[in-house]
Amino acid sequence: MYFSRVKIQPNILKSSQLSRVLEGNVYGSHRLLWDLFPGQDQRTFLYREEIAREQLSASPAVRGEPIYYVVSQSKPVETALFKVESKDYLPEQNGKRPLAIGQHFTFELRANPVVTCKVDRDDPEEFLKKRAMRSPNNKTNLTRKRVHHDVVMDAQLQFLSSLVKGFQLDSLLSAKPNKGDYKKLLLANGGEPLNQRLTKLLANDPRYAECLWQTASLSDKLEWAIKAHIDIALESWLKKQGERLGFELLVDDDDLSKLQNSGYLWHGLPAKAKHKGDKSGFSSVDFTGELQITDTVKFEQALFQGIGRSKAFGCGLLMVRRCV
């Protein structure tokens, strides 16, 4: 395995606007990075895009161009577009201790957190017709459709929906309410009972209790409570990944996980939409924190194969550094 730092060639950077075009363009970056691995039919690499000014030392020559960190099975080749710096990426070499259960690491992870659920199919008859053509023995077996939901959006809607139902306001909702509809309804009708409920929720959350020291409106408290619920959902998602991939989050003296999340973004992928006007894309969240290895084989899988979905578009690369 190889760990590489990839930057746009200096001569191209100076003479074009390519860095601005690529910044945040996950589909364009994805296609161009494939050129580093000629002859590959399947993706065998993970990458993460950063902005150079955030990663490299302050220098007049660093103007905020994209920089890519890549983990790959084969060594990437330098191209006319990209300058590549590579080194072996095997945790048990280079004079370092091999991976071992109990080792502590700080980590950075850009991930696409989703939850999977099953829903009824829109057109069951059409589904059964197509299934019968593919597999005659299962022509009457109507299964439910698996769908993936953004963890952040799902957490917000679940929390807001529970508040609306708790205050018996659901009869006032439209047929297909969105997040804004829930908020407006709660703020317009929740009153003091909602204020007391949110105050209690925040007071019981060590990360957000200090927010109550500020003079806050009902709207402020609702936003803080939503963020607290999102934090819980994201932490739960990452802990489940750790159970599957050989690590657990470390906790501080207050028994709180050493974990922060930030940078929630939606990345549109119009080129991947099946029909014109369809919404296609994915969300990403940046995690930082500290972890402990619980299974070395599974943890190596996390390092080399990544975590979560949308790995082809810059998510999933777990970047670690041993705690001193």
- In DSSP notation, 9-24 reads -HHHHHH-SHHHHHTT
Q: Is 261 helix (H, G, I), strand (E, B) or coil?
A: strand
- Is residue 303, in this structure, part of any structural domain at all? yes
Lookup: tokens for 45: 């690499």
Binned at pLDDT 50, 70 and 90, residue 155 comes out as very high
Domain shared by 65 and 125, yes or no: no
Between 29 and 213, name the one with better pLDDT.
213
Domain that holds residue 51: 2-89
Domain shared by 63 and 141, yes or no: no
State the Cα–Cα distance between residues 324 and 321, nearest whole angstrom: 9
Domain shared by 72 and 202, yes or no: no
Between 23 and 162, name the one with better pLDDT.
162
Residue 256 has pLDDT above 90, yes or no: yes
| Residue 242 neighbours by CB distance under 10 Å | 21
Domain shared by 83 and 145, yes or no: no
The domain boundary residue, chosen from 41, 60, 89: 89
Between 143 and 198, name the one with better pLDDT.
198
Whole-number pLDDT of residue 179: 92
Domain shared by 32 and 135, yes or no: no
Binned at pLDDT 50, 70 and 90, residue 117 comes out as confident
- Is residue 98, in this structure, part of any structural domain at all? no
The domain boundary residue, chosen from 58, 89, 120: 89
- Is residue 100, in this structure, part of any structural domain at all? no
Burial of residue 112 (number of CB atoms within 10 Å: 0-12, 13-18, 19+):
buried
Residue 94 has pLDDT above 60, yes or no: no
State the Cα–Cα distance between residues 87 and 2, nearest whole angstrom: 6
Between 42 and 26, name the one with better pLDDT.
42
Lookup: tokens for 298: 């599974």
CATH number, position 141: 3.30.70.1210
Q: Is 254 helix (H, G, I), strand (E, B) or coil?
A: coil
Whole-number pLDDT of residue 112: 96
State the Cα–Cα distance between residues 286 and 152, nearest whole angstrom: 12
Lookup: tokens for 176: 């297909």
Return the minimum-mean-pLDDT range out of 32-36, 150-154, 155-159, 292-296. 32-36
Between 318 and 88, name the one with better pLDDT.
318
Residue 33 has pLDDT above 70, yes or no: yes
Whole-number pLDDT of residue 175: 85
Whole-number pLDDT of residue 26: 74
Whole-number pLDDT of residue 278: 59
Q: What percentage of the chain carries pLDDT values higher than 70?
A: 78
Domain shared by 141 and 40, yes or no: no
Whole-number pLDDT of residue 201: 95
The domain boundary residue, chosen from 26, 57, 89: 89
Question: What is the identity of the amino acid at 88?
Answer: D
pTM of the model: 0.84
- Is residue 97, in this structure, part of any structural domain at all? no
Domain shared by 168 and 309, yes or no: yes
Domain shared by 183 and 38, yes or no: no
Domain shared by 48 and 197, yes or no: no
Q: What percentage of the chain carries pLDDT values higher than 90?
A: 54
Domain shared by 60 and 126, yes or no: no
Q: Where are the alpha helices (DSSP H) in the chain?
A: 10-15, 18-22, 26-33, 52-55, 124-134, 151-166, 179-189, 191-203, 218-245, 296-305
- Is residue 96, in this structure, part of any structural domain at all? no
Q: How many domains does the chain have?
A: 2
* Residue range 115-142: mean pLDDT, rounded: 67
Whole-number pLDDT of residue 247: 97
Whole-number pLDDT of residue 127: 61
Domain shared by 77 and 143, yes or no: no
* Residue range 203-227: mean pLDDT, rounded: 92
Return the minimum-mean-pLDDT range out of 17-31, 200-214, 246-260. 17-31
Residues 6+ apart with CB under 8 A from 103: 97, 292, 293, 322
Domain shared by 180 and 148, yes or no: yes
CATH number, position 60: 3.30.70.1200
* Residue range 137-151: mean pLDDT, rounded: 71
- Is residue 197, in this structure, part of any structural domain at all? yes
- Is residue 103, in this structure, part of any structural domain at all? no
Residue 61 has pLDDT above 60, yes or no: no
- Is residue 205, in this structure, part of any structural domain at all? yes
Helix, strand, coil abundance in the chain, percent, nearest 5: 40, 25, 35
